[in-house]
Amino acid sequence: MLARAEAADRTAIGAKGLNYLAFHAPSRERIDELAAEIRDRNDTTLRYEDRHPFAGGYQALYCEDPEG
């Protein structure tokens, strides 16, 4: 069951709702392109930029949902 989180809880790890969503990217270059596109937006931010693009043995990027 999914439940909408209260606004104050939306970014809390373990809060109700969807916390992470993963997609496959064909290359490291595409991950870097996506990161650049996210940096250019005003409605979201990259998270964990100090670890980008490596995360536990794989390449990744994390960003905030524009809706919180």
Q: pLDDT per residue over 28-59, tens digit each?
A: 899 889 889 988 988 888 888 777 777 677 78
DSSP class per residue in 39-66: HH-SS--EE-GGGTTEETTEE--EE--T
- Tell whether 9 is covered by a domain: no
Is 7 inside a domain boundary?
Answer: no
Is the distance from CB of 50 to CB of 62 less than 8 angstroms? no
Q: Is residue 14 situated within a structural domain?
A: no
pLDDT at 33: 92
Tokens representing 63 are 């960003």
Residue 8's pLDDT is 56
Average pLDDT, the chain: 74
User: What is the reported pTM?
Assistant: 0.62
Tally of domains in the chain: 1
> Could you tell me if residue 16 is inside a domain?
no
- Rounded distance between C-alpha atoms, residue 49 and residue 26, angstroms: 20
User: In which band, very low, low, confident or very high, does the pLDDT at 17 lie, cut at 50, 70 and 90?
Assistant: low
Peptide bond into 53 cis (omega under 30): yes
Determine the Cα–Cα distance for residues 5 and 26; give it in Å rounded to an integer: 33
Instruction: Find the domain containing 48 and state its range.
Output: 25-68
